[in-house]
A and B are shown apart, each in its own frame.
Chain A
Amino acid sequence: EVQLVESGGGLVQPGGSLRLSCAASGFTFSSYSMNWVRQAPGKGLEWVSSISGNNNYIYYADSLKGRFTISRDNAKNSLYLQMNSLRAEDTAVYYCASASPSDYWGQGTLVTVSS
């Protein structure tokens, strides 16, 4: 059974940092490009970042302006999102998902940026 389990969310003050993790199982993780997608409370889906299976290709939403870094460790079947200089507008549920079209999604982890 395919599983994606996110962790690392929580409450952080504006300007702070968080590192999200996504543990994958049930499929050949290294063969899949992966995405981070977020959803602000009551809003729609927003793509954040993508990384290829071999780390050769990395893409970010322009709105992030260099504050976020995606990475992966294929030996650990894990995907990461380092988020720095967090703002109130980064408050959202963050999902990891397999590369689009995304047939595998995690349950999401909530990041709340507030003082």
Chain B
Amino acid sequence: EVVLTQSPGTLSLSPGERATLSCRASQSVTGSYLAWYQQKPGQAPRLLIYGASSRATGIPDRFSGSGSGTDFTLTISRLEPEDFAVYYCQQYVSSPLTFGGGTKVEIK
């Protein structure tokens, strides 16, 4: 099983600042089959990034993903008020599919 560890657990930032979220895998995620989701309270997750770096349909370009192998990063270039939420990474290269524990981006 691929274990995904997200850090930090909580990120306290102000609107307009840059957010950098990390997702580290216990073994290589071949083919970069890694996705990032955003979840707001009471809502279903929303796909942001797939294939480690491809933005999903309708996702603003302030969201970017990078990385390969075991180290992946989600960057939000300038935080908008609507970006404060919890973010999860997920690997979908092999079963069991696994999610990271999440990073909460909160308003400082």
Contacts and interface: CB of A to CB of B under 8 A. Distances in A.
Interface of A: 35, 37, 44-47, 50, 59, 61-62, 95, 97, 100-103, 105-108
A105 B90 CA distance: 15
Given A97-B45, A103-B47, A105-B44, 7 more contacts: A45-B88, A45-B99, A47-B96, A59-B96, A95-B44, A100-B35, A103-B57
Top 10 nearest A-B pairs (CB, nearest first) are: A100-B92, A101-B50, A105-B44, A101-B35, A47-B97, A59-B95, A45-B99, A103-B47, A44-B102, A44-B101
B95 A50 contact: yes
A84 B39 CA distance: 29
Contacts of B14: none
B56 interface: yes
Given A101-B92, A103-B57, A47 B98 contact: yes
Sorting the interface of chain B by its residue count into under 10, 10 to 19, 20 to 34 or 35 or more gives 20 to 34
B99 A101 contact: no
Given A62-B96, A100-B92, A101-B35, A45 B56 contact: no
B76 to A, nearest CB: 18
Nearest to A106: B44
A64 to B, nearest CB: 10
B45 A105 contact: yes
- Residue among B37, B88, B95, B97 with the most chain A CB within 10 A? B97
A45 B90 CA distance: 9
Given A50-B97, A59-B96, A103-B56, A44 B44 contact: no
Contacts of A46: 99
A114 to B, nearest CB: 21
A47 B1 CA distance: 12
A102 B29 CA distance: 17
Contacts of B39: 45
Contact of A100 (B1, B46, B90, B100): B90
Contacts of B99: 44-47
15 contacts: A35-B97, A37-B45, A44-B88, A44-B101, A44-B102, A45-B37, A45-B99, A46-B99, A47-B98, A50-B97, A59-B96, A62-B96, A100-B90, A101-B90, A101-B92
